[in-house]
Amino acid sequence: MEDAGNSFMPMGNVRKVIAFLQKSNYPVFRAIGGEPTIHPRFGEIVELVLVEGFRIDLFSNATWKPEYNSLFNRISPNRLLFLLNIDHPDNYSQQLWTRIERNLCFLSGRRGVSFSFNIFEQKPRYKYVLDLAEKYQVRAIRMSFSLPVIGIDNACLPLERYKEMTPFIMRFVHECEERGVSVQLDNAVPPCIFDYAQAGELLLKGILDLQRNSYCKPIVDIGPDLSTWYCFCLSKLFHRHLDDFENLEQARSYYRAVVRPYQHQTFPLEECNHCAYRDLWDCQGGCLTFSIEERRGLLPSGIDRPRPAPVAAANRSLGLAPDVQIKDYDLPTKTYVLTKARSQGEMEISPTFKRLIDLIGIERSVGAAVDRFLADGEEPAAATPADRFARDVLAEGVERLVQGLEREGFLELVESA
């Protein structure tokens, strides 16, 4: 949070988030940051959220003021869970480390407390987190690779080095087991980094989950000013405002559509394009940031890149085949399905591209329809790099859709005027 004036969510916005989650029938209020406990009205927010019937998941570095321990002591472990991300003791002053240990002592033995351990070094220093877990009776650790963040040069390992870390992962798991601590591997991790024996052990122990770890789903973070984004790693891209969505599922549907080109068509490594896990488990090849950086060549300083070429050649006219019909469905979300009577073929399209299909019918030419469709979303003069990036994603989506429609026979050559 570089803008100090925007660091803390105003109470009015907190109430808007609560109302949004209630409308979404989502029972959990996740307090993240930065460090959420430094919010000047943190205690008031906790009590308000609990009164409204939510469970609170608190993501913290355990440096909260000691007086909050009396507040936490009044809250059932069923209503307040802790995920604590604590760095190596060498990274703290003695005074701050003393505060962390005092807070951990207060939580000692409490249900619903987990540690978070992030892998960002080739030789991770990890003994301290096992010692803390044993000393303060923390029985669960969430382990994850530190992930690259668009626009921030944060500490993380290149995707190519993940496989080298599997011996450490197995050693970490075994040492946790010896101390009675359970481990769960979080975030997207390519299953190919493990051999069959390693994967089998991790799967049978519930540490690895091929659905949870092969691909990610939109988290939908909400910032202090009610801006929203897919996840923290992509927080520089695809911004919308909470008011743009009726509920959480609508927001997730939007972000699923936005990242689809990078989750299912673009992969970070060449070997990903021929990997059986891609089809079998929808593996996306690790964090989506790897794919986006590979496709765009993104640099931390910006997102400006050459614009894609026009999708339709000027000398080709394509229109919808005469036997194509459009059916619409609204559960669980609005979708459209093109059907072709002669071949009984079907293709589903998102609401984003429904207008393009309508324009093809009006223009009788894909080239003209595409030009008009993209012109409707012409970027403003003051467009940000993220705005231009989103427009490029849209243009690429149009290109893939037109190619698919032509390949499956939904588009046919039409006579030139």
Report pLDDT for 343: 67
Residue 374 pLDDT level (bands cut at 50, 70, 90) = confident
Give the CA radius of gyration of the chain. Answer: 25
Q: Distance between CA atoms of 45 and 346, rounded to whole angstroms?
A: 49
pLDDT tens sequence across 375-395: 876 555 556 655 666 677 677
The closest of 237, 230, 277, 295 to 256, measured between CA atoms, is 230
303 alpha carbon, distance to own chain's centre: 19
Residue 79 pLDDT level (bands cut at 50, 70, 90) = very high
Residue 144 pLDDT level (bands cut at 50, 70, 90) = very high
The closest of 2, 70, 63 to 35, measured between CA atoms, is 63
Give 389: exposed, middle or buried? Use CB within 10 Å, 0-12, 13-18, 19+. buried
Which amino acid is located at 74 in the chain?
R
pLDDT tens sequence across 323-368: 888 888 887 778 888 888 776 678 888 888 888 888 887 776 777 8
- Mean of all residue pLDDT scores within the chain: 86
Q: How many CB atoms lie within 10 A of CB 364?
A: 16
Class of domain 4-296 as given by CATH: alpha beta
* pLDDT higher than 90, residue 404: no
25-29, 131-135, 280-284, range with the lowest pLDDT: 280-284
Report pLDDT for 208: 96
Beta bridge partners of 227: 241
Please answer whether residues 292 and 150 qualify as being in contact, where contact means their C-beta atoms are separated by less than 8 angstroms.
Answer: yes
Q: Distance between CA atoms of 389 and 394, rounded to whole angstroms?
A: 9
98-107, 144-153, 179-188, 406-415, range with the lowest pLDDT: 406-415
pTM, 2 dp:
0.72
Collapsing DSSP to helix, strand or coil, 351 comes out as: helix
* pLDDT higher than 70, residue 184: yes
Q: What is the DSSP string of 117-153?
A: EEE-SSS---HHHHHHHHHTT--EEEEEE---BTTB-
Please answer whether residues 175 and 183 qualify as being in contact, where contact means their C-beta atoms are separated by less than 8 angstroms.
Answer: no
Residue 304 pLDDT level (bands cut at 50, 70, 90) = very low
Collapsing DSSP to helix, strand or coil, 90 comes out as: helix
Beta bridge partners of 326: 338
The closest of 226, 212, 274, 236 to 16, measured between CA atoms, is 226
The closest of 25, 104, 91 to 60, measured between CA atoms, is 104
Crossing angle between the packed helical segments 196-204 and 166-178, to the nearest 10 degrees: 30
Domain residue limits, the chain? 4-296, 318-413
Q: Token digits for 325?
A: 């019909």
Collapsing DSSP to helix, strand or coil, 306 comes out as: coil
* pLDDT higher than 70, residue 36: yes
Q: Distance between CA atoms of 299 and 311, rounded to whole angstroms?
A: 26
What is the DSSP secondary structure assignment for residue 41, as one 8-state letter? Answer: T
233-237, 303-307, 312-316, range with the lowest pLDDT: 303-307
Q: Distance between CA atoms of 15 and 53, rounded to whole angstroms?
A: 13
Buried b (16+ CB within 10 A) or exposed e, 195-215: eeebbeebeeeebbeeeebbb
